[in-house]
Amino acid sequence: MSAGLQQGAPGSVADRRLPPVAELLMGSMACVIAGGVYMAAQLPQRAPLGPAVGLLAAGTALLVGAAVLVSSLRPFAWRTFRLVAGWAVVAYVVIAGLLEFTFVYDHTRGSLLVVLTLSLVVFALDIPLLLGFSVARYQDPDPG
């Protein structure tokens, strides 16, 4: 284990103060999951979209805020971040695609399908960003 990764070592990456990226992403996930649960609880009737759209907007705002905070980090282990987040995006695009297929196969239409699709997009971006950040934050920053 390198000196930079030792817990409590002076100047270690574990002691760096970073913005609350993980907390924002968890809030974003909570919003879109709560919106999905709200809509699913209304089935088979048509759910009022107001609360779900509000939760989707809040989740999107938290995701954008987290992405802005991550992009402003200097120094940071960007290579590790891109590696982890990139493969996680591949996995979550497949997962989101399967869920989207399920919605279409079950004849979900119109504005309900739009809200569910956008919620899936936010969810499929939340997890890779969270995984990439969570791994890269404990790595030594890239040189330069």
pLDDT for 12 equals: 67
Q: What is the pLDDT of residue 41?
A: 86
In a domain, 8, yes or no: no
> Measured between alpha carbons, how far is 102 from 2 in angstroms, rounded to an integer?
46
| Domain membership of residue 41 as a residue range | 18-136
Q: Looking at the 3D structure of the chain, how many domains does it have? A: 1
User: Is there a domain that residue 37 lies in?
Assistant: yes
CB 9 within 8 A of CB 140: no
Query: Is 109 domain-assigned?
Result: yes
pLDDT, tens only, 34-61: 999 998 888 778 889 999 999 999 999 9
Q: Does residue 5 lie in a domain region?
A: no
Residue 59 identity: G
pLDDT digits over 79-93, tens only?
A: 999 999 999 999 999
Most confident range (mean pLDDT) of 5-9, 62-66, 73-77 is 62-66
Six-digit token pair at 1?
């284990």
User: Does residue 26 form part of some domain?
Assistant: yes
pLDDT value at residue 69: 97
Cβ–Cβ < 8 Å for 55, 31: yes
**pLDDT tens digit string along 84-122?**
999 999 999 999 999 999 989 988 889 999 999 999 999
The pTM for the full model equals 0.87
Residue 134 and residue 128: Cα distance in Å, rounded?
Answer: 10
42 found inside a domain: yes
Judge whether 25 lies within some domain.
yes
Within a domain: residue 58?
yes
